[in-house]
Amino acid sequence: MTNSKEILKHADEKMKKAVEVVREELIKIRTGKATTALLDGIKVDYYGTLTALNKIAGVSTPDVHTISIQPWEKSVIPLIEKAILQANIGLNPANDGTVIRVPIPPLNEERRRELVKLIKKFGEDGKIAVRNVRRDAIEHFKKAEKGDHMPEDERKRGEQEAQKLTDKFIKDIDTLLALKEKEIMEV
């Protein structure tokens, strides 16, 4: 990487990934509202192969407190229930022979506060990752100035642009955190 556009493009891509990791972590946090994303990571032992739940069943939310799972084959109902219990996400599935219903219990005040602390930790980890990308970009600019004879003013502009990217992505993380905190505290 020798020119500032390449350095900034690389930094932009890595910062986007850091924000995306935070977004994915926040989606997994249970807020007391039913969302199919709660079951996204669950794999079922389907004929000897670990298969994503949504590949062997229809997953929906008929109301804000229930996730409904409609398996394509009735024979996998016990396997799906077992996978949900083994995922250790605090959910207890129940079936009526054709459909599995997963009630989402409401959160108590103490649990809400714990979840807010957790999302703030995810947010801080994301911000640290973004800042580390900025630091790496600035190091690239300094090396380019020394080794590739990049003009000093171009290096300074590049460092300012790296800071602007950092500010933008940290603001994105703060927005994600505020929305998730509001979602948790309002339920």
Domains and CATH numbers, the chain: 4-28+108-186 (1.10.132.20), 36-103 (3.30.1360.40)
pLDDT averaged over 10-residue windows placed end to end, the chain, 187 residues:
82 94 82 76 86 87 87 89 81 87 83 85 94 94 84 90 95 94 79
pLDDT at 30: 67
| The model's pTM | 0.67
Instruction: Specify the long-range contacts of residues 131-140, CB closer than 8 Å, at least 24 apart.
Output: 131/166, 131/170, 133/11, 133/14, 133/15, 133/18, 133/166, 134/11, 134/15, 134/162, 134/163, 134/165, 134/166, 136/11, 136/14, 137/7, 137/8, 137/10, 137/11, 137/162, 138/162, 140/1, 140/7
